[in-house]
Amino acid sequence: MTQVIDDLGVDLSTLDGVGTRTPHPLVLVIFGASGDLAGRKILPALAQLAEQHSLPKEFAVVGVSRTYFSDEEYQNTCRREGPADAPIWSQICGNFRYLAGDYTDDDLFVRLDSLLADIDASVGTGGNRIYYLATIPTLFARVAEGLGSAGLNKPAGDGTFARLVVEKPFGTDLSSSRVLEGQLHEFFKEEQIFRIDHYMGKETVLNIFALRFANSIFEPIWNRRYVDHIQVTVAESLGVEHRGAFYESAGALRDIVQNHVMQVLALTLMEPPASMDATAIRDEKVKLLRSMVIPSSDQAASFVVRGQYGAGAIDGESVIGYRDEPGVSPVSETETYVAARLGVDNWRWAGVPIFVRTGKRLAKRSTEFSMFFQRPPHLPFAGSLSRDLRPDALTLRIQPDEGISLAFGAKVPGPEFRVRTVEMEFSYSDAFPGPTADAYERLLLDAMIGDAMLFIRADEVDQAWQNVAPMLESFAILQPPLARYDAGSWGPVEADQLIESTGHRWRNPS
Domains of the chain: 12-167 (3.40.50.720), 201-500 (3.30.360.10)
* Nearest CA among 102, 135, 123 for reference residue 31: 135
**Residue 283 contacts residue 273 (beta carbons within 8 Å):** yes
The segments of the chain whose pLDDT lies below 50 read: 1-19
Phi, psi of 4 (to 5 degrees): -125, 120
Cα distances (Å, whole numbers) of residue 363 to 239, 252, 299, 355, 397:
11, 16, 29, 19, 16
**Residue 353 contacts residue 208 (beta carbons within 8 Å):** no
Name the average pLDDT for the chain: 90
| pLDDT per position as a tens digit, 85-144 | 889 999 999 999 999 999 999 999 999 999 999 999 999 999 999 999 999 999 999 999
- H helices of 52-155, in order, are 71-81, 87-92, 106-123, 140-149
| pLDDT per position as a tens digit, 228-273 | 999 999 999 999 888 888 899 899 999 999 999 999 999 999 999 9
Confidence at residue 147, expressed as pLDDT on a 0 to 100 scale:
97
Confidence at residue 328, expressed as pLDDT on a 0 to 100 scale:
93
Element (H, E) at 248: helix 244-248
Neighbour order of strands in the sheet with 26-31: 97-100, 59-65, 26-31, 129-133, 162-167, 193-196
* Nearest CA among 277, 213, 218 for reference residue 11: 277
- What is the set of active-site residues? 260
Confidence at residue 414, expressed as pLDDT on a 0 to 100 scale:
84
DSSP count for the chain of H helices, then E strands: 17, 18
- Cα Rg of the chain, angstroms: 24
Cβ within 8 Å of residue 4, ≥6 positions away? 11, 12, 13
